[in-house]
Structure 1
Amino acid sequence: MSKNPEYYLKPRQKFKVVLFLILSFLFCQSLSSQSISWQRTYDGPFQWTDISEDICDAGNGNFFIVGTTKRPNSYSSIFLLKIDKFGDTLWTKYIDTATGKALTPSGDGGCVITGLKGNAFTTKIDSNGNTVWFKTYTGNIVFIGYDIINTSDNGYIICGSAYYDSAFVFKVDSVGEIKWQRFYSAGYRKNYRKIIHGIDGGYVIAGYLNNTPTDTTRGLIEKIDSLGNEINEKTFILNGNTGVYD
């Protein structure tokens, strides 16, 4: 009696099918066994609105978390935490009348924060929560720092918006002094929110722009070289307004 070729499997084929089923079962079991190791909530001192914005490595299994805590009907303060690998708080620091947007490791156990305190700023905090230095970047308009990363010369690159209608990138040294600064505009509004290192020594930036006041908000990916000169940019629209906010 001939076997139906549609259902007949040779021994080696049977082995492959059984092996596939076993691996699939183990994979599904692995997924189903995933669970949260721990979770924590952190309340600011004012028992109002607390928002975390960024997290970075603090060394030795610890982490820095930066965000903003708000007083009812009053000003905001930076809310900086250092936590251990279990999420337990090692120390907390506040910087009044300021908003923390991003931070990056300083390379010596501390961190450098950017955000808004009247204008864009950077501040270095050591491993114990002490302020090492604080720099504010002023001009004819208000700057807001939205992201910061380390550079190979022990300095930092900051990106953000200049009063919401144009974008900027600042290169600063190891103590926050500006080495160079670049400004970038669109027809109406341009805003940088995230910056990473490119593969060729430059940087890739994400954000959004509008060419006119009534223009649909477009997501933006832009490439600049190591001195901040624009190389190219791409915009995109998904459904309705689109933007890269972090």
Structure 2
Amino acid sequence: MKIIALIIFFVTSVFAQNQLAYIAGEYHSDFGIRIIQTFDGGYAIIGQTISFGAGTWDIFLLKFSPHHSLEWAKTYGGDSVDVAFDIIQTPDSGYAFTGLTRSFGVGLSDAYIAKVDSKGSLQSFITFGGVEREESWDIETTTDNGFIISGCTESYGAGLLDILFAKFDSSLSVEWIKTVGSDSSEYSVACVQANDTGFAIVASSKSAPAFPGKHCMLVVKLDKFLAIEWAKGISGDDHDHNYGNGIIQTTDGGYSATGKAGTPGVSGGGSAFLVKLDSTGMLQWSKTIGTIDFDKTDYIIKTYDNGYVLSGYTGQWGAPGSDEDLYDFFITKLDSSGSLEWARKVGDEYIKDWGYSVIQTSDSGYAMVGKTMTYRFSILDTVYWNLLYVKFDSNGDNCIASDITSDVTVDYVLSTVDDITSIIEISDISPDVMDVTAEIIEMDVSPLNLVICETSTDTPEPHREIKSFTLNVFPNPFNSAAAIQFSLPHSGPVNLKIFDVYGIERKTLANGIYPAGNHYFMLNGNNLSSGIYFCKLTVGNVFSQTKKILFLK
């Protein structure tokens, strides 16, 4: 197996509420698209690389410990373009990710779903598509431990471009693949399974009669039988185009979706766009968020206090056809009604820094990933993209971030909602499905480490010998994810399970032999209903403890 040097500029820290930042990559373009917090309290970042791997672009996966030290990094791909757009952790502590491939499959590009184990070793790589272009942008777990993905297809469907929506079981066998769309053009980059076990998809569409020739945000709700309940085209009155990029379900059973409002290439011609719908698709409110320049949000999360955090980039567009677009990381916190709490940017106003996804971490801070030229240029005097990871504290502060709250406005915008349920179709398709696991080239990457910045408000604790068993859950109550920590004074067989109030097992988080020490797992609430649950830790026949957990979705 080929070993490749990876340059990582990062900070190592063992404190709560850290502010930190690092870049990862080498002398070509490398960047991160999605970040997740893993069951052990660490982080996994997936993205794309030219510096390493077998082809033009390869999939880039990095795993970090809870203390932010790199544990391993791998690339996956063939001799052409292979990229990843989203990742989740699986119940066996492995990972599933999705994107597009031009190295494998039958078309110009095929969508794929891949599975690796907890150490990044490839287990399966499944492509699906036709003779034209297929892409997959989002992957989510389902209540039956399967997977759903959403993206776009040119090979199938009613229009020039349709939403690609697929379901796989836990072993990556296809259950169904469908298109959703009209005779115009639709594509999706995000979906969510609803509390009623149906699905909601956010997309961009040109099919709404109220917005002829223009893109609008499209939100489609499917029931559990995959029948369309409603489909809404949404656009602000003052903008030519609106694009949907992210969606979550809210505690009242409705949905919040984000994207971009405005026209690229026009000075001041773009703002982040946030809409709130009720459970029937009726608009409750809509807001634009941004500076005097161009702003775009790629990701939305629900925070522990039922507010929102949006991530993306802010900056200005260059002249048409030029390479002078200048962006910074953009992260903003809103309360549950869409009012601004704070906004930050990371980067240099004269160089490019592009933010993608964000998560809320178990210490109530935030972690964001994207790509940078600023810090690469200042350290190595090169102009290639590198992966940039930034950890903010719970107030949104970071050692390389700037406060731009006073420069950001949040305005109510009178949006138009076009009910287009009657013109959106859903169809079964049977694309070519190929298992190309044997052809994937997997590479280990060996790192070198240097510091950018670190700040901590806490002091390190001295090492203490663990003398007793403990079980802790935080935060509790929680509304998105909870960190479960247990301590073992000696190694032993561990069983960690989640039960509902009826005593029915809902999740198994740990089942095996664990060494002495502290261990961390993340309980994701995506597929749980609001209510009381119980976390039970059993260590052989020597220890058992149960903690009550309150989940407020």
Measured after TM superposition, the shift of residue 111 of structure 1 is 1.0
CA distance in 1 between partners of 2:344 and 2:400 (Å): 15
Instruction: Specify the structure having the higher radius of gyration (Cα).
Output: 1
CA distance in 2 between partners of 1:222 and 1:105 (Å): 26
CA distance in 2 between partners of 1:210 and 1:131 (Å): 39
SS in 1 for 2:383: coil
Aligned match for 2:397, one of 217, 229, 233: 229
With over 3 angstroms needed to count, the CA separation of the structure-2 counterparts of 1:54 and 1:60, relative to structure 1, is same
CA distance in 2 between partners of 1:231 and 1:149 (Å): 23
Measured after TM superposition, the shift of residue 84 of structure 1 is 2.0
Measured after TM superposition, the shift of residue 178 of structure 1 is 0.3
Report the AA paired with residue 150 of structure 1. K
The structure with the largest helix share of the pair is 1
Asked if residue 52 in structure 1 is aligned to residue 188 in structure 2, the reply is: yes
Report the AA paired with residue 181 of structure 2. D
CA distance in 2 between partners of 1:94 and 1:135 (Å): 16
Measured after TM superposition, the shift of residue 214 of structure 1 is 6.7
CA distance in 2 between partners of 1:49 and 1:107 (Å): 32
Q: 1:98 is matched with which residue? A: 242
Report Cα offsets for 1:50-91 as digits up to 9, x if no partner: 1101012321102210011136x9321111111123332111
Q: 2:199 is matched with which residue? A: 63
Q: 2:356 is matched with which residue? A: 193
Report the AA paired with residue 84 of structure 1. D
Report Cα offsets for 1:126-146 as digits up to 9, x if no partner: 110001111112421121111
Q: Percent identity?
A: 29
Does structure 1 retain, via aligned residues, the 8 Å contact 2:346–2:400? Answer: no
Measured after TM superposition, the shift of residue 34 of structure 1 is 6.0
CA distance in 2 between partners of 1:120 and 1:155 (Å): 16
Task: Give the structure-1-normalised TM-score.
Answer: 0.74
Give 5+ residue unaligned stretches, structure 1.
Answer: 1-30, 239-246
Q: 1:217 is matched with which residue? A: 385
SS in 1 for 2:285: strand
Asked if residue 176 in structure 1 is aligned to residue 312 in structure 2, the reply is: no
Task: Give the structure-2-normalised TM-score.
Answer: 0.34
CA distance in 2 between partners of 1:167 and 1:88 (Å): 39
SS in 2 for 1:230: coil
Give 5+ residue unaligned stretches, structure 2.
Answer: 1-168, 236-240, 263-270, 316-325, 402-444, 446-553
With over 3 angstroms needed to count, the CA separation of the structure-2 counterparts of 1:228 and 1:161, relative to structure 1, is same
Q: 2:485 is matched with which residue? A: none
With over 3 angstroms needed to count, the CA separation of the structure-2 counterparts of 1:34 and 1:124, relative to structure 1, is closer
Structure scoring higher RCO (CA < 8 A, sep ≥ 6) equals 2
Q: 1:202 is matched with which residue? A: 365
With over 3 angstroms needed to count, the CA separation of the structure-2 counterparts of 1:138 and 1:79, relative to structure 1, is same
With over 3 angstroms needed to count, the CA separation of the structure-2 counterparts of 1:232 and 1:48, relative to structure 1, is same
Deviates more, 1:128-137 or 1:74-83: 74-83
Aligned match for 1:108, one of 243, 252, 274: 252
Q: 1:145 is matched with which residue? A: 297
Measured after TM superposition, the shift of residue 232 of structure 1 is 7.8
SS in 1 for 2:354: strand
With over 3 angstroms needed to count, the CA separation of the structure-2 counterparts of 1:39 and 1:227, relative to structure 1, is same
CA distance in 2 between partners of 1:167 and 1:201 (Å): 20
CA distance in 2 between partners of 1:128 and 1:231 (Å): 43
Measured after TM superposition, the shift of residue 229 of structure 1 is 1.1
Does structure 1 retain, via aligned residues, the 8 Å contact 2:356–2:370? Answer: yes
CA distance in 2 between partners of 1:63 and 1:34 (Å): 19
Measured after TM superposition, the shift of residue 175 of structure 1 is 1.1
Report Cα offsets for 1:195-237 as digits up to 9, x if no partner: 112121111111111135971111222211111112589xxxx
**Matched ranges for 1:78-89 at <5 A:** 78-89=217-228
CA distance in 1 between partners of 2:313 and 2:206 (Å): 22
CA distance in 2 between partners of 1:177 and 1:70 (Å): 30
Report the AA paired with residue 184 of structure 2. W
Q: 1:241 is matched with which residue? A: none
SS in 2 for 1:55: strand
Measured after TM superposition, the shift of residue 192 of structure 1 is 1.2
Count of matched residue positions in the alignment of Structure 1 and Structure 2 = 200
Does structure 2 retain, via aligned residues, the 8 Å contact 1:58–1:110? Answer: no
SS in 2 for 1:40: strand
